[in-house]
Structure 1
């Protein structure tokens, strides 16, 4: 049988490419005659540039940009013709944050966009996801030339000083450039379902500070464009989505962009089974994440889809609502300690077990 293997990264342990290879290695141990088609995936977060480079080719351009706390960090821009792809997690990822998201600036993301434009790109696609910042994209705007009566590039902590923002210089700097915000979530900037409330705790913002930090972003939205702050995707990457929308960006789910780039629809139609996966499979996977996107493609192709994950945190009813026939957890098979100590080996072992059930 033909199996399409299309996982996301397993955050903190395996890249999407490594996860796909581990699943394939395990599957072959049980079903060596099966034909495996590997399609590593991304949703705009970590691995976005690598996955697109593998699918589209192009030129990888190395540079250095400002990290969330002002430190220089390495980054890579993918250039395919006149289109440049930027991955925000490279310069403001969760792994770069110390002391809480309210102290991290997104200025480096603006620097990546500027570098892409200065290099001749007429379209810049910005992958949003996996960020550790929460400044509403104020640092991005500052890097692109926006001015204010307050401080834009010291993180959310500085936004309480902002009452006016002039976006005209930033918009002029990007005149003639098409911006695309490739988002992994569709949340607004502020409020009960906004960036701070939804993702602040995992970025190190203490629970008793959530309301205050969200208030800073709300004031920032009032100083810029309150209506835009309510749009889907404005809260992506701690509000970088909002900054891009202010600059005229169009929003596209990152998973849709990647599935198109890797021709996932046609590959799914050629498969008998589709296998996807991610680190933690839960109901939030529906909000623009890889497993839901892959499962939707599999459903359209009338192919069953199963998921392999580090942890499975949904029941069978929720699983089927996401379009997944069955989901299997690495930790249930080998335990949490081994799952983190030897992630590729553990995932491979799980894949071999799953192949016993699903391979002909």
Structure 2
């Protein structure tokens, strides 16, 4: 029996490759004669670069000095495949780089991501694909633009401090962004607009440390900054309303303003990992993520895999830390069954502390249920 195992990470607990490996170990303990094909995935968030590095064996990976959301040194990477480069925003401005006490999107910056983009361009890339997700920032890409030579200025012409809150005083940019005419692509499955109840600040700000009052401040600041972005010749009309402009704290808006485009992260990863070809030969596909909920149904890794499996008539099982999506909603995207580590352990604490043990146990359980 051939089983395709293609999970996303379980955010904050275990990486996608480790999820796949633990599950496979459990399955093969029970049914060693089966063939398990491991294809860890990402929709653009943490793990994006590692997933693509495994899928593109001819690509060259370059280490790049960058800065984290608070301006401290951190090592990022550029994956160069011909004249296309892939960078992961979370390597430079990811939430996982900060302690809980340090999380404050009023002050965090995406400057480090701009350093990665510059390095990609200097390495000869004509297209730079940026995986968006897991960011600690809510600055609308202001830090990214500053690294590209277009820092936000106040009315007196002084450079603004880093962070989303300072953008309420933004009056202009210090220059034209410089990235040698390369095309930018935002790889994300977040379709949120920049502003409002469904925008970057309101939906994702609290996850990054924003209080209720902070959300209003940040949303107003992004509204002001989006007006400044419209002064760029490459900026499309109605920027703040475009799907994906709210991705990664507004980094999607910056990419769009620079003449770039938004592309489905899981769609891109599916194509580069040749996932659909693997699905055609599979009897069962197993995917998963930390929380299988309503957001999962809107185009993240689980939805992308389940949709593809459904189209080919392949059963799809979801593993998750917790399962909040309804059975009917899950079935609508092609999910056959869903299993939660919280239910397995009977405790959130144990599910967070021992995810690999739980995944091995679920691997054994599913092998007994599914293996012919």
TM-score range, shorter chain: over 0.9
1:207 aligns with 2:212: yes
1:139 aligns with 2:143: yes
> How far 1:41 moved relative to its partner?
0.3
Alignment of 1:113-192 (within 5 A): 113-150=117-154, 151=159, 154-165=162-173, 169-170=176-177, 173-192=178-197
Distance of 1:104 and 1:148 partners within structure 2 = 15
Corresponding residue number in structure 2 for 1:219: 224
Distance of 1:39 and 1:317 partners within structure 2 = 27
> Gapped runs of 5+ residues in structure 2?
231-236
> Gapped runs of 5+ residues in structure 1?
none
Judge conservation of contact 1:139–1:153 (CA < 8 Å) in 2.
no
Q: Could you give the per-residue CA deviations for residues 34-87 of structure 1, whole angstroms, max 9, x where no partner exists?
A: 211111100000000000000112111112112111111111111112211100
> How far 1:255 moved relative to its partner?
0.4
Single out whichever of 44-53 and 180-189 deviates more from structure 2.
180-189
Alignment of 1:93-108 (within 5 A): 93-97=94-98, 98-108=102-112
1:35 aligns with 2:47: no
Alignment of 1:43-58 (within 5 A): 43-57=43-57, 58=59
> How far 1:322 moved relative to its partner?
2.8
Single out whichever of 200-209 and 106-115 deviates more from structure 2.
200-209
Corresponding residue number in structure 1 for 2:83: 82
Corresponding residue number in structure 2 for 1:110: 114
Q: Could you give the per-residue CA deviations for residues 297-339 of structure 1, whole angstroms, max 9, x where no partner exists?
A: 1012111111011111122112112321110001111232322
Corresponding residue number in structure 2 for 1:342: 354
Corresponding residue number in structure 1 for 2:233: none
Distance of 2:114 and 2:44 partners within structure 1 = 16
Q: Could you give the per-residue CA deviations for residues 258-310 of structure 1, whole angstroms, max 9, x where no partner exists?
A: 00011011110111111100111111012331000000110121111110111
Distance of 2:84 and 2:74 partners within structure 1 = 23
Distance of 2:280 and 2:6 partners within structure 1 = 14
Judge conservation of contact 1:183–1:288 (CA < 8 Å) in 2.
no
Single out whichever of 146-155 and 190-199 deviates more from structure 2.
146-155
Distance of 2:3 and 2:153 partners within structure 1 = 57
After superposition, the CA RMSD in angstroms is 1.4
TM-score (norm 1): 0.96
Detail structure 1 runs of 4+ shifted over 3 Å in the superposition: none
Helix, strand or coil for the counterpart of 1:243? helix
TM-score (norm 2): 0.93
Q: Could you give the per-residue CA deviations for residues 217-246 of structure 1, whole angstroms, max 9, x where no partner exists?
A: 111112223711211111111011111111
Number of aligned positions between the proteins: 357
Distance of 2:276 and 2:73 partners within structure 1 = 39
Q: 1:147 to 1:200 in 2, by over 3 A?
A: closer
Distance of 2:167 and 2:56 partners within structure 1 = 39
Corresponding residue number in structure 2 for 1:244: 255
